Amino acid sequence: MIDAVVKIDAASVDRLIDASEADPEALIGILQDVQKEWGFLPIPALKRVSERLGVPYNRVWAVATFYEAFTFQPHGRTHIMVCTGTTCHVNDGLQVLKAIEDELIIECGQSTPDGKFSLEKVHCLGACGVGPMVVVNDQYHGHMTRAKVIKLLDELKSRTEVET
Amino acid sequence: MKLTSPTQLDQVARDFRASLEGYKTTISLCGGTNCTACGCNEVLEVLKTELEARNLTYTVRLIVTGCQGLCSEAPLISINPDDVLYCNVEPGWIKRIVSDTVIEGKTIPDYCFTDPVNGTTYEKFSEIPFFSDQTRVLLANSPHIDPSDIRDYISVGGYRALAKALFEMEPGEIVDEISASGLRGRGGGGFPTGRKWASGAKAPGDHKWVICNADEGNPGAYMDGSLLESNPHLIIEGMIIGAKAVGAGAPGGGYIYVRNEYPLALSRISEAINEARRWGLLGNDILGSGLSFDIRINRGGGAFVCGESTALMASLEGKPGEPRPKYVHTVEKGYHNEPSVLNNVETWANVPGIILDGAQKYREHGTDASPGTKIFSLVGKVRHTGLVEIPMDRSVRSLVEGIGGGAPEGKKLKAVQTGGPSGGCLPVSQLDLQLDFDVLNEAGSMMGAGGIIVMDEDTCMVDIALHFIRFNTDESCGKCTPCREGLQEMERVLTHITEGKAEMDDLGHLEELGQWMIGGCLCALGATAPHPVLSTIKYFRDEYETHIKGHKCPGGVCRELIEYSVIEANCTGCGDCVTVCPTGAVSGLPDKVHKIDMLLCTKCDECYKACKFEAIGK
């Protein structure tokens, strides 16, 4: 599960810890900041957080694995979130998810081998009036259907081609 | 500028209104999450450019509001004082809107809301039945104010309730007023807010906390996020009043626990808190009253269970959000084992109105036991989706069939789900039930946060029960055995039913298991988790039986139990199904009856949805 390797310098982690005044209670917030910085939770950063906050490493680990927001795998350059909340479910959101899985040939929770795309499902994005919902790198797309999401993926693929 | 007395509030309001006098027109673009998902940002850019190009920025005020309510017609633009609402706005419409409506004052009927049932076009915002049939109290200002400008809130009477509470009322009087209003917690349980505040005020200790639960994890409910997006100061004002009432001023304080998946709500409330501090409405000596109180924001980590009070407190302390037994309630020993008054966003939003206008006025709406209005998020298979605020004496039918316009495309309504993963499904026969806390509980469902998910004949009730159980299995914190193991067993049995592998005894097994969980789980989320299963077995037993005995899914959803075929009598050979089929399973010559090769079919349902002649059977 944990195979992502990244260079972490203690100073960058310290900066994030100091921003929250090294408050052990701010552990969840600090981990969120770490994840924002590197895109996932690198193990060396967790160890540094544990040392600096004086929170036992197993407690840091317990928090990092308890909350859904945290990941130990870097996301793809294009990160896709599909809402599987009740409204999106009733409106065939699972077919949208399946279409993306088929199109990218990955399963939910995985990244494409080239690191360009990653796919994740979320329980509710709070845009239930216009479901099924898909979020691509923080950009919201409502009223999704199988056909629309395939068209969206085609656009994204050609965009990432140009970027690389 | 820091305000040091309540009279300065009126001055701010007067100055702000005077600064708006130069504007002839106000354009309010809905920037809520739903409209954002439908492209409102593109519309905004074009609108800004057009107003600048036509030199209208000094006479036209453009504001981005929070959710205006009619989400099925997103993106929305409302124009005042013309009282116009334009729906499904596209960037290409902007030129015409600016030239015809803004400059010439002419409404464009093509862009207005048209009722899909009777074809009536509504040129006035206030006449659209979706809005005129509501009683908007909490949402009244949402379509009109700029959530990023505290002066806008002050100019519509904001922070006056706070001034009254700070200078004219004793803490006990505030608690009594809330108690007299009969306000009940809007997060789900419906616990009397006044009683909670009274316990908080009575609890011993110098450090007390008021906390706002904005961890809206309930799928299908988005009113809390929308309130934070559209009117964040309403919640802040409610919390400061609460702080005075229970004694949570410094060295205690306030927390807002915001859901991680709501980036827009998070940024709006953070901005609003900073504004309130700048204006002296948070911090030391608020409005010169001597009360010092500040609010901090805590981002949730994306765990549904953190909506539960004891789990939320653990999360605030930087721990995994696991509930503890509630021998002692959090109002006595919560955050740091100190008295903590936790209320939901919508509950806090009710407070300023009650204090300003009094409990009697508040009780004019709703029922004796469930007074006031409630915001519902009306979503799913219903024509008009969005946020609806109505008194709690209205019926489910008036909400779903009246305001919501019933199921779309001539489909038959099958069920209405209320209360999220803790609630239940009500069949059509129960639609005349009143939407209040107690009636819904008695019917085997619950109010919950107010998500109303409408389901039509194409929904499978077993699949819905399984959906909720999967959700609860995912979100169970795993601390207590009945919830952790019970949910997994329910998921196993329900999966068997949807695959046609179950037996009739399994229904009894599910019911028994459900009762064990209701009695044995540690927290309310576990104890209510079996509701979706028990209520669907109660009201839709025949559907379960058809799955088990007949190996058929009446809703046409459970993939293991459906086979697609062409109904030859209806097929015109139009080829629409061939075009949409992703695997080439459908084939046929033009104008000849088509056929489906089930070996290639992945049951994606595209042909069924594409067919205009009801020629695909399943």
Confidence of residue A1 (pLDDT cuts 50, 70, 90): very low
- Chain B hits for A90, CB-CB cut-off 8 Å, are 380-381, 453, 455, 459, 464
Is A86's CB within 8 Å of B580's CB? no
Whether the per-residue pLDDT at B17 is higher than 70: the answer is yes
Residue A109, Ramachandran bin (φ over 0: left; ψ between -120 and 50: alpha; else beta):
left
Instruction: Give the residue from chain B lying closest to A32, CA to CA.
Output: B301
Are the beta carbons of A128 and B379 separated by less than 8 Å?
Answer: yes
At B387-442, the pLDDT tens digits run 999 999 999 999 999 999 999 988 999 999 999 899 999 999 999 999 999 999 99
Q: How far apart are CA B615 and CA B601, in angstroms?
A: 16
Report percent pLDDT > 70 for chain A.
95
| Cβ <8 Å between B37 and A86 | no
pLDDT digits (tens, 9 = 90+) for B562-589: 999 999 999 999 999 999 998 999 999 9
What's the rounded Cα separation, in Å, for the pair B257 and B315?
9
Q: Tell me the per-residue pLDDT of A51-86, one tens digit each, with 9 for 90 and over.
A: 999 999 999 999 999 998 899 988 899 999 999 999
Residue A119 pLDDT exceeds 60: yes
Residue-averaged pLDDT of chain B: 94
Whether B552 has a pLDDT exceeding 70, the answer reads yes
DSSP B567: -
* A105 CB-near residues (< 8 Å, 6+ apart): A112
- Residue A52's φ and ψ, nearest 5 degrees, are -70, -35
pLDDT per residue over A33-59, tens digit each? 999 898 899 999 999 999 999 999 999
Q: What is the mean pLDDT of residues B488-516?
A: 96
- The reply to whether residue B582 touches residue A146, judged by beta carbons under 8 angstroms, is yes
pLDDT average, residue stretch B11-24: 95
Give B229-279 pLDDT, tens digit per residue: 999 999 999 999 999 999 999 999 999 999 888 999 999 999 999 999 999
The 3-state DSSP class for residue B379 equals strand
> Is the CB of residue A94 less than 8 Å away from at least one CB of chain B?
no
Residue B340: which pLDDT band, with cuts at 50, 70 and 90?
Answer: very high
Q: B148 CB contacts (<8 Å, ≥6 apart)?
A: B64, B268, B271, B272, B275
What count of other Cβ atoms lies within 10 Å of the Cβ of residue B352? 26
Residues of chain B contacting residue A60, judged by C-beta atoms under 8 Å apart: none
Per-residue HEC secondary structure of B174-228 comes to: HHHHHHHHCCECCCCCCCEHHHHHHHHHHCCCCCCEEEEEECCCCCCCCHHHHHH
Which two three-digit tokens encode residue B407?
């199921």
Cβ-based contacts of A86 with chain B (< 8 Å): 219-220, 380, 417, 420, 451, 453, 464, 467-468, 471
| A125 CA: distance to closest CA in chain B (Å) | 6
Q: Model confidence at B13, in pLDDT bands (50, 70, 90)?
A: very high
Question: 3-state secondary structure string, B112-153?
Answer: EEECCCCCCEECCHHHCHHHHCCCCCCCCCCCCCCCCCHHHH
Residues of A in contact with B448 (CB under 8 A): none
The CA-to-CA distance between both ends of chain B, in Å, stands at: 67
pLDDT at A164: 61
Q: Which chain A residues touch B222 with a CB distance below 8 Å? A: 124, 126-129
Tell me if chain B has a CB within 8 Å of the CB of A143.
yes
pLDDT above 70 for A3: no
pLDDT digits (tens, 9 = 90+) for B67-113: 999 999 999 999 999 999 999 999 999 999 999 999 999 999 999 99
Report which residue type is found at B489. Answer: E
The predicted-structure confidence for B295-327, as pLDDT tens digits, reads as follows 999 988 888 999 899 999 999 999 999 998 888
Range in A113-117, B341-345, B399-403 the model is least confident about = A113-117
3-state SS, residue A110:
coil
